[in-house]
Each structure stands twice: as structure tokens, then as C-alpha cells.
Amino acid sequence: MIAGTARRRYGVRMSVRRLASGALVIVAAGCGGSSSTSPSTAPVTTVQTFAGTTRQSAPGSCSGDSHDFAAQDGAVAVALQETGDPEGALSVQVCAGGIDNRDCTINQQRIAVGQTLTGQRKGIASQNLKLLPHSCLSGGPFDPSASITYRVQVTYQK
């Protein structure tokens, strides 16, 4: 009778041990396969103001400041707030990576003070804004000694 009792106790102890080790294996297996992913962030509408100068150096030849920004997919809007140009207008373009391939977010076109032009971001996130004298786009008289100042506001998704 003592031998049978010992056997039962041993049998119960083995079952508890087996049960505990089985539970440990299941818990370990459940934790081992996970991978951490960073939560995606929603785009934030960003408004940035740029100021600069531009000039026409010769007929059909212009130069000026350029401004870089990184935009997620979505609309990019450019609003000309002020300019020293006597006509109150400039030529604007926004291109991916600063490459003018005529497939830009905003292709080169005239923009007047108070006007906003909008385009869907094209190409990579790195975008480049350039403003030039409007006479570079449409021709007309120029004064190579005159620097033209401007202030522009750009709205985009960041």
C-alpha cells in the first residue's frame, strides 16, 4: 500500500510538471514570432514661407534662389504673397529633386501676387521651388541690374 501511494504521488507530480512545461512552451512560442512595426503617422499639413531674390541676366537667361522641402503624396500649393517685380508677377515651378523635366508638381507658369497655384506632388518627396522673373517665361523687357525680391507661401503634406 505504501508503494501504491508513492506511485500515485509520483504520477501526480509528473502530470503537474508536464503540464507546467507544456504551458511554458506554448507561452514561449506565442511570444517568439512577433515583429515590431512602427506605427504609421498621418501626413500633417505644413505651411512654409520662403523669401528670396531673382533676376534676369540676359534675354532668356534667369537666375534666382531656390528652396527645398520634403512633401508626402498630396497637394502642393504655392501662393505669391509679394514681389518687387513692377508687373506684380513671377514665374514659378516646383519640381522633384530640382530637375526641370516638364513633368513637375507645378510646371513653370506665371503667378501673380495674391494668386495660388496647386498641383499634386510628382516624383520623389524632395521638391524644389524656383521663382524667376515672369519675363523669362513670356519674354519682354528686362533690366539685368535689378534684383527682384519675393515672398511666397507653400502648403504641402509632411
Q: What is the pLDDT of residues 24-74, one digit of tens each?
A: 444 444 445 455 566 678 889 999 999 999 998 877 788 999 999 999 999
Among the listed residues 78, 71, 143, the one whose alpha carbon sits nearest the alpha carbon of residue 114 = 78
Q: 17-21, 87-91, 95-99, 101-105: lowest mean pLDDT where?
A: 17-21
Is the domain of 50 the same as that of 127?
yes
Each residue of 101-144: pLDDT tens digit? 889 999 999 999 999 999 999 999 999 999 999 887 777 676 77
Dihedral pair phi/psi, residue 102, rounded to 5°:
60, 15
Are the C-beta atoms of 92 and 148 separated by less than 8 Å?
A: no
Position of cell 533690366?
A: 143
Domain ranges, residue 19: 1-36
Is the domain of 88 the same as that of 144?
yes
* pTM (predicted TM-score): 0.72
**89-96 and 126-133: which strand pairing?**
antiparallel
The CATH number given to whatever domain includes residue 55 is: 2.60.120.380
Is the domain of 29 the same as that of 64?
no
Is the domain of 110 the same as that of 149?
yes
Alpha carbon distances (Å) from 12 to 25, 72, 126: 20, 63, 69
Question: How is residue 107 written as a grid cell?
Answer: 510646371
